[in-house]
Structure 1
Amino acid sequence: MKGTPGISYSDQNWLRSFMFTIFGTSVLAVSYFPLFYTHLGFSSSQVGFLYSLGPLISILSNLFWSMISDRLGTIKKIMIILLSGQLISAMLLSRATEFSSVIFILSVFYFFYYPVFPLADTMAIKTAQRHGRNFISIRVFGSLGYAFFALTVGYVLRALGSSWSMTLCIIIVITALIITWRLQDVQNATPDAQSDGTASANDAPKRKGNGLREILLKKEVLWFFSCVFILALGHRMNEAFLTVSLKEMGAGEELIGWALLASALSEIPVFFALSKYGDKFKELPLLAFASLMYAVRFLLMARADDPGAVVAIQAMHSVTFGIYYVTAVRYITRIIPDHLRATGLAIFTVVWSSAAGLLSGTFGGMIFEESGRSIFYRVAMVFSIAAFAGFLGKHLFDSGETSQLDKITL
């Protein structure tokens, strides 16, 4: 049900502000928490262990909170719980100095941190559908937020020191929590919902059954997630060792920040273009094209020997992740029922970030150390080519199956 234009505009703007803010936490957790741990005097192996906690914890937390959200039919209330948990654990982390206590508190922080992003995407999709808009018009503010914080946080911490990382995190989480109270909740439709996609407030929470099993029993979903996992291995290898590669080439902290900024900004025009014209193209060919561009990107990374060239290559984030992400989410919304949307996006996040992050971090590190950067990126390229074959093969198979069905019908 659509509200008045003023309410609709305010509703979307608060969600855009929320997306912008939560990606500030992402910048800190991914790029600057390791510097904070180094400031505490932890060794490289200890910092690496703390970094690996995230993907491990997120496998459980993403599925747990998203299934709770689907079962209760609310996202806003779950967001308030998650951000409150982040705030409390971040405050405890700011005071923790012992490695054992940091392990425990950081695990708690990750339990509340990771599920925010797939749930925010679910809210963006449902809010956009309610107002007849493309969800990218909301989600793109996450990319803008990441770009903004990637640049500003680095300068702030350079002036104040790495010890301020947790303080900045607390400020950002408090801001996000305040904004959350202004968000309009979205409810999950049930299979019994009306044909126009609406459902009463009493219908949404009543959904019973095993949503996870219902999703994973679909062959089309399993094939899609398998291809996503293969592509994610190469993507996560690059993400985990990009800064290491730049350091190996002699790049300074400032150039690393610009490399992160280049990737974040490059995806924004692609998001807008696909939000306007993406529906004219089928999802699987677009996913295959993005995978092929990933292969080209990693081949260029394998051959690059100058930090400036790496920054330029990062702009290919637009035709790789930019195309992939928008198209993958669009594909998920088509093959997964609306009442299981949060759980489906949680599985997507687990496959793309958590499982792939664990495997690529472990074996990617061994390849990088034993064989060097060039072989490392060529292995990532092979994963991308395999994903390209998977997406394209699925498209050709579906096209052939449809053609045979038409012949039988005639």
Structure 2
Amino acid sequence: MEHQNGAFADQNWLRIFMFAIYGIGVLALSYFPLFYSHLGFSSTQVGLLYSTGPMISILSNLFWSMLSDRLGTVRKIMFILLAGQLVTALLLSQAREFPLVMVILSCFYFFYYPLYPLADTMAIQTAERRGRNFITIRLFGSFGYAFFALSMGYLLLALGISWSIALCSIIITISLCVAFLLRDAGPKRSRRIADEAGSTPDAAKGLRAILLNREVIWFFGCVFVLALSYRMNDAFLTVSMKRLGAGEELIGWALLASALSEIPVLFLLGKYGDKFKEVPLLALACLMFGVRFLLISSVEQPVYIIFIQLMHSVTFGIFYVTSVRYITRLIPDHLRATGMAVYTVMWSSLSGLLSGAFGGVVYQQWGMTAFYRVATLLAVIAAAGFMARRWLAGPTALTAEVVTPFAEGLPESSEQFEASHQEKVTL
């Protein structure tokens, strides 16, 4: 009974943690720009402030995740990240000059972006250890985003936008307190592998093994192409709604609609997703993204976008769950944090950098309709990429290909560990 109560507590504290940290994201990404506009920063300055985030996240995601894999702990790394966020947020609350804000916000990003893939890593490890699906934990991040997306808007309307950093600091502090109550789910396995090998796993070799795996490269390539279209929509959805005549309240409801719509799909896939092959589901999600962007390209009234945003459920909801499940099959446990970091770099960092510049040119030169049709084309290309990989290489060939590169340069015991996971990789 004590063991069961401990397992119950572990999962529930992690659910609370997931709920809280998505509140940080709502404020940092949606309301900080409004705060700096309120301070009198120009649109160019605000854009420059937030273009540094994806660039910094490329380095920070890989650095902190490789350190997590090397030390065999996720909890301690997340604690450091939250402490760094709190310190830099407090400094941001006092900074008013653009150069100083630029430096401090860059430091904030260094601690901010790696938190989410590491939290997903802990959710996966905890769920596997308890015989559950990680979506039963990750779902609370969606609840948190939906809750804070709506509540923070009304709260800041009452208090004033100048409270955005203070509210963010409060949520970071709460998350930091909850982090004390979390437990690493995979330290025993990490220590066992290290003890058998006679050394600590080499994070650099682990990253090299991931990047040299052809199946992983193909997967991340398709993810990147889809992410370009997804991030284009992220960057210009509110701009498009404004151009169509939407007010702030309509934009808020559109964001809320997308956040709420993914919850039932996450739940259903968490329960029944194992019955479906990953690659066809990924291709289906890409095609649904294409339909979603094609519909947006045709609307003339902003209210219709709220209903189109409900397709977030069959686009992002399906793609996120299935891609994470696919990563857990492709990448062994002791490289899990590094693998999730590479995924985040492709899904958020590199795509965020390029989609803003590329999408901005397309939007400015050819307008909203052409912009969303380009996004549609990219989503269809990603779908074709996933299906082409399945057609070009059968399941048997892919299974053999996934295992071999991870064993190169690793200790013999780790090779045996990889061999034991061979049957997990199915398409």
Q: TM-score, normalised by structure 1?
A: 0.94
Cα RMSD of the aligned pairs, angstroms, is 2.0
Distance verdict in 2 for CA 1:24–1:202, change over 3 Å: farther
Are 1:67 and 2:66 counterparts? yes
Structure 2 equivalent of residue 297 of structure 1: 292
Are 1:252 and 2:239 counterparts? no
Are 1:158 and 2:157 counterparts? yes
- The correspondence for 2:301, drawn from 295, 300, 306, is 306
State the alpha-carbon separation in 1 of the partners of residues 373 and 91 from structure 2.
42
> Residue 4 of structure 1: CA displacement?
1.1
State the alpha-carbon separation in 2 of the partners of residues 204 and 312 from structure 1.
57
1:116-127 aligned at under 5 Å gives the runs 116-127=115-126
Structure 2 equivalent of residue 58 of structure 1: 57
> Residue 397 of structure 1: CA displacement?
2.3
CA deviation profile, 1:145-193 (whole Å, cap 9, x unmatched): 0000000000011111110010010000000000000001233576995
State the alpha-carbon separation in 1 of the partners of residues 355 and 151 from structure 2.
29
Q: Which runs of 5+ in 2 are unaligned?
A: 401-427
Residue 117 of structure 2 aligns to which amino acid in structure 1? P
Distance verdict in 2 for CA 1:5–1:189, change over 3 Å: closer
Residue 8 of structure 2 aligns to which amino acid in structure 1? Y
> Residue 202 of structure 1: CA displacement?
9.5
1:164-243 aligned at under 5 Å gives the runs 164-187=163-186, 193=192, 206-208=200-202, 210-243=205-238
State the alpha-carbon separation in 1 of the partners of residues 108 and 39 from structure 2.
18
- Percent identical residues: 62
Distance verdict in 2 for CA 1:58–1:402, change over 3 Å: closer
Q: TM-score, normalised by structure 2?
A: 0.90
What secondary structure is seen at the aligned counterpart in 2 of 1:210?
helix
State the alpha-carbon separation in 2 of the partners of residues 306 and 151 from structure 1.
22
> Residue 398 of structure 1: CA displacement?
3.0
Whether the 8 Å CA contact 1:332–1:344 is kept in 2: the answer is yes
Whether the 8 Å CA contact 2:72–2:190 is kept in 1: the answer is no
Structure 1 equivalent of residue 16 of structure 2: 17
What secondary structure is seen at the aligned counterpart in 1 of 2:394?
helix
Whether the 8 Å CA contact 1:259–1:310 is kept in 2: the answer is yes
> Residue 369 of structure 1: CA displacement?
1.1
Q: Which runs of 5+ in 1 are unaligned?
A: 194-198, 406-410
State the alpha-carbon separation in 2 of the partners of residues 189 and 45 from structure 1.
49
State the alpha-carbon separation in 1 of the partners of residues 195 and 254 from structure 2.
46
> Residue 210 of structure 1: CA displacement?
1.7
State the alpha-carbon separation in 2 of the partners of residues 337 and 396 from structure 1.
25
Whether the 8 Å CA contact 1:189–1:204 is kept in 2: the answer is no
CA deviation profile, 1:314-366 (whole Å, cap 9, x unmatched): 00000000000000000000011110000000000000000000000011011
Are 1:384 and 2:379 counterparts? yes
Distance verdict in 2 for CA 1:401–1:131, change over 3 Å: closer
